Amino acid sequence: MRLRAAITTLAMPALLAAAGSQGLAQTKTTRPTASGGQRLSLTPHYSAGQVIRYHFENTMTSEERRGGAVSDPQGGGQLTLKWSAILRMEVLSLHKDAKGLPDGGMRVRWVYEKSAASVTSDTYDPASDAVAADYGALEGKAFEFTVNAAGQVTNVKGIDASGGKGNEDAMRSLLGQFSAGANAPHGGVAVGETWTTDLPFDDAPLAGLMWKIQSTYLRNEPCHSANVEGEQVPASGEMCAVILTKRDLTGSRAGRDATPESYRKQGLKTEGTLNASGDYLSYVELKDGLLVSLTQTYDQQMDLTISSQDGGFRKLIQGIVKSRQQFALIPPSNP
């Protein structure tokens, strides 16, 4: 159904955001002309047994058109997914190096204390309730994963495959938020400093795509959370670093065969364009590197053709995706 296809498209911003933990990063740093401030490490300092809770809000709007050998009887249309969750993060253990010192890796359990979603479409689709139920079914679920110092996530356990595509995409959407500082300079950053990172996007439907990521340490100011559900959380008294990150997907060119090897092995050919960009404003606590809030806006445009190498199958996918995410630390005093 069109709704299921659009939900898959809507999930792409989350998957693209998680690209920060894929491939081999190349980071370059531009020093400010005058700094004089202390250098800040963006790596958070967790402790075993620590429990942190976040509030997550995500609104994604998709406009999609499909055509080809398998036509869509409902045609194109606009679909909006709104998802809200409260997530509890439990630090189970910290990894140590040969000297017995923490090496930046850890084992983590995440629990969805609350999860609710709604789906609206400008055309009737009976699958709307089922998709919203997929996200709602996450409430009470838990999963564990290992993350290393570079932000790479491995050994994920607890994903409920019976919950549908929404469960996996929802999980990856949240995972992507915690890799923002993984590619920062090892020696830390100072106010006014900018660093850039190139990351290959290995799982894209087109080969040769690359993320160009530019981050700037704007200033220090009192920590405050994102404006979630229209209610601003008061400042905690701690100071935060304000980090602005811009991501642009490059390497997408029309009129050429850009088939990834994974598609080629299935007898498929892909061509077209996939463009994406996003802005991320993060507040990171100076004291311990803890993410206090993140606000993201994201835009994606795609014009793809997937066809069989023997010419017997051809499908056109065109669409626009817009996303806004907010990730906010819940103060310990709040229930």
pLDDT digits (tens, 9 = 90+) for 104-147: 788 999 899 999 999 988 777 677 778 888 888 889 989 888 88
Instruction: Provide mean pLDDT across the span 52-80.
Output: 73
pLDDT over 90 at 88, yes or no: yes
**pLDDT higher at 231 or 121:** 121
C-alpha distances out from residue 131 to 27, 63, 80, 302, Å: 39, 17, 12, 23
**pLDDT higher at 182 or 53:** 53
Residue 216 confidence class, pLDDT cut points 50, 70, 90? very high
Residue 227 confidence class, pLDDT cut points 50, 70, 90? low
110-134 per-residue burial string, b: 16 or more CB within 10 A, e: under 16: bbbeebebebebeeebeebebbbeb
- pLDDT above 90 covers a percentage of the chain that reads 21
Residue 176 confidence class, pLDDT cut points 50, 70, 90? low
Residue 92: its pLDDT value, please?
A: 94
Residue 160 confidence class, pLDDT cut points 50, 70, 90? low
Collapsed DSSP state (helix, strand, coil) of residue 87: strand
Distance, in Å, from the CA atom of 201 to the CA atom of 22, rounded to the nearest integer, reads 7
Residue 31: its pLDDT value, please?
A: 52
SS (H, E, C) the chain: CHHHHHHHHHCHHHHHHHHHHCCCCEEEEECCCCCCCCCECCCCCCCCCCEEEEEEEEEEEEEEEEEECCCCCCCCEEEEEEEEEEEEEEEEEEEECCCCCEEEEEEEEEEEEEEEEEEEECCCCCCHHHHHHHHHCCCCCEEEEEECCCCCEEEEECCCHHHCHHHHHHHHHHHHHHHCCCCCCCCCECCCCEEEEEEECCCCCCCCCEEEEEEEEEEEEECCCCCECCECCCCCCCEEEEEEEEEEEECCCCCCECCCHHHHCCCEEEEEEEEEEEEEEEEEECCCCCEEEEEEEEEEEEEEEEEECCCCCEEEEEEEEEEEEEEEECCCCCC
Q: Locate 218 and state its tokens.
A: 């704007």
pLDDT over 60 at 322, yes or no: yes
Distance, in Å, from the CA atom of 189 to the CA atom of 178, rounded to the nearest integer, reads 18
Collapsed DSSP state (helix, strand, coil) of residue 311: coil
Give residue 255's region: left, alpha or beta (phi > 0; psi -120 to 50).
Answer: left
Instruction: Provide mean pLDDT across the span 197-209.
Output: 83
pLDDT digits (tens, 9 = 90+) for 14-61: 333 333 334 444 556 555 433 456 788 877 888 899 999 999 899 989
Distance, in Å, from the CA atom of 182 to the CA atom of 291, rounded to the nearest integer, reads 12
Q: What are phi and psi of 161, to 5 degrees?
A: -60, -25
**List of domains in the chain:** 2-329 (2.30.230)
> Please, are residues 115 and 139 in contact by the beta-carbon 8 Å criterion?
yes
pLDDT over 80 at 151, yes or no: no
Instruction: Indicate the range of 137-141, 147-151, 280-284 predicted with least confidence.
Output: 147-151
